[in-house]
């Protein structure tokens, strides 16, 4: 039933066969924490205790693996819980991590303030420059090259295949945070990445009503280590979260098409506006990552950022004046959001090499009528 090749078909059916007991066409929400055994050790379909495995989570995990074209998917309580489990599984004291010079502030905080306390060092590097990446790598101790593409919030694009090549030369794993693109637009495992990370809170959930995270891997040995850690560390997603992400993913394709159609119109509008000094959107032909994005993505997504010619105060004013764009953190939901990364989502990167410009505004373009979105931005900028 789950062997279909079309992405949208898999989004609706992979891991989601009708329930064998009742025929329910939607995966049941299994809230049970424990499962009756038929004699000691006589588990039914492998279920014993819900931290170790739960049928609703299993359905989501199978779906994630199918969409990312991996061998195993693992669901966690948040994107950061997924990242933490991954880093503490593949690193040990003395390990080293190279991360793109522009990554989600929370990822940087996790690596620089938490994992570092266990003797894991890190170096930020420009992933668009293979020589800079090679120079940052410490042969023998670099375990992970951490790549976000497109990045949050600067929408920089890294060449996944090239980054994988350089990481693998040094025996490191390439981890790609695919949150911004979603598997609908980009499948890093097919380009050479070893691990895909998601904040399912974003496009996969898609409705701003669930916090979750995921890992998807190709290698079966790494998958087994992560399955062990998922249970041993316990940062698992809850069944209601799994169920909401399963439901969200069913419409991922149609939502992404609309997110990006709206984002393209908004990028063009902002380009022509006097108050705007730069528009950061990989779909624009003069974006420095446009050609790479066109090569490795099947669309440019619904996230864009722009800079205000008049500086930080102007950026704050636009955020505060927007009405249809809600001033809020997070992204990837059906409703449009606006935020000031320097003071909000990326405040934890202040004073670090990953600090973001203060004149920057980030938009998560929703799926509302684009004319209403354009009118709101016009009044907010006006
Ligand atoms: C690109 C990216 N990765 C990871 C995360 C962390 O995910 P979560 O908030 O679900 O822990 C975020 C959150 O904003 C993000 O934007």
Where do the domains of the chain lie? 7-249, 253-381
Instruction: Write the pLDDT tens digit of every residue in 268-324.
Output: 999 999 999 999 999 999 999 999 999 999 999 999 999 999 999 999 999 999 999
Band (350; pLDDT cuts 50, 70, 90): confident
- Chain segment 364-381, per-residue pLDDT in tens: 999 999 999 999 999 999
Is 184 part of the annotated catalytic residue set? no
Q: Is-contact 253 7, C-beta < 8 A?
A: yes
Q: 113 an active-site residue? A: no
* φ and ψ at residue 295, rounded to 5 degrees: -75, -40
Which atom of ligand 1 is nearest to 80's Cα?
A: 11
Check pocket membership of 253 for ligand 1, CB cut-off 6 A: no
Percent of the chain with pLDDT over 90: 94
203 tagged catalytic: no
- Helix, strand, coil % (nearest 5) of the chain? 40, 15, 45
Taking the domain 253-381, which CATH number applies?
A: 3.90.1150.10
pLDDT digits (tens, 9 = 90+) for 123-162: 999 998 999 999 999 999 999 999 999 999 999 999 999 9
CA distance 289 to 135: 22
Q: Tens of pLDDT along 30-76?
A: 999 999 999 999 999 999 999 999 999 999 999 999 999 999 999 99
pLDDT digits (tens, 9 = 90+) for 183-241: 999 999 999 999 999 999 999 999 999 999 999 999 999 999 999 999 999 999 999 99
Q: Which of 51, 247, 250, 343 is catalytic?
A: 51
Q: Where are the alpha helices (DSSP H) in the chain?
A: 7-13, 55-68, 79-90, 105-109, 130-136, 160-169, 182-185, 220-233, 239-249, 252-271, 290-296, 312-321, 370-381
pTM of the model: 0.97
Ligand 1 touching residue 16 (CB < 6 A):
no
pLDDT for 352:
83
- Give pLDDT, residue 60: 98
> Architecture of domain 7-249 in CATH?
3-Layer(aba) Sandwich (3.40)
Residue nearest to atom 7 of ligand 1 (CA): 79
Q: What is the pLDDT of residues 245-278, one digit of tens each?
A: 999 999 999 999 999 999 999 999 999 999 999 9
Round to whole Å and give the CA distance between 335 and 127. 32
pLDDT of residue 1: 47
Tokens standing for 369? 């009528």
Tokens of 168: 């693998």
């Amino acid at each position: 039933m789950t062997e279909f090749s079309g992405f949208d078909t898999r989004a609706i059916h992979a891991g989601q066969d009708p329930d064998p007991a009742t025929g329910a066409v939607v995966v049941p929400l299994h809230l049970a924490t424990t499962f009756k055994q038929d004699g000691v050790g006589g588990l039914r379909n492998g279920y014993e205790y819900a931290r170790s495995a739960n049928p609703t989570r299993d359905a989501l995990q199978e779906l994630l693996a199918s969409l990312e074209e991996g061998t195993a998917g693992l669901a966690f309580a948040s994107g950061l819980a997924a990242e933490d489990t991954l880093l503490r599984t593949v690193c040990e004291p003395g390990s080293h991590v190279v991360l793109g010079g522009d990554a989600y502030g929370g990822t940087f905080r996790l690596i620089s303030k938490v994992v570092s306390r266990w003797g894991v060092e890190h170096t930020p590097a420009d992933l668009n420059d293979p020589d800079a990446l090679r120079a940052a790598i410490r042969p023998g101790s670099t375990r992970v090259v951490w790549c976000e593409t497109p990045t949050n919030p600067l929408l920089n694009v890294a060449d996944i295949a090239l980054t994988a090549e350089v990481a693998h030369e040094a025996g490191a794993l390439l981890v790609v945070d695919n949150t911004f693109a979603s598997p609908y637009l980009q499948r890093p495992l097919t380009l050479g990445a070893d691990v895909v990370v998601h904040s399912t809170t974003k496009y996969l959930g898609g409705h701003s009503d669930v916090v979750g995270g995921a890992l998807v891997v190709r290698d079966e040995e790494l998958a087994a280590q992560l399955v062990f850690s998922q249970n041993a560390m316990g940062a698992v997603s809850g069944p209601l979260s799994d169920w909401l992400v399963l439901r969200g993913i069913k419409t991922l394709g149609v939502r992404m098409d609309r997110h990006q159609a709206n984002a393209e119109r908004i990028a063009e509008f902002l380009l022509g506006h006097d108050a705007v000094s730069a528009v950061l959107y990989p779909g624009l032909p003069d974006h420095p990552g446009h050609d790479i994005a066109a090569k490795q993505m099947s669309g440019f997504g619904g996230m864009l950022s722009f800079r205000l010619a008049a500086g930080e105060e102007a950026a704050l004013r636009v955020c505060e004046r927007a009405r249809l764009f809600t001033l809020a953190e997070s992204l990837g939901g059906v409703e449009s959001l606006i935020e000031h990364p320097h003071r909000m989502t990326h405040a934890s990167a202040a004073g670090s090499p990953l600090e973001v410009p203060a004149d920057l505004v980030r938009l998560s373009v929703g799926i509302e009528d684009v004319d209403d979105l354009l009118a709101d931005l016009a009044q907010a900028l006006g």
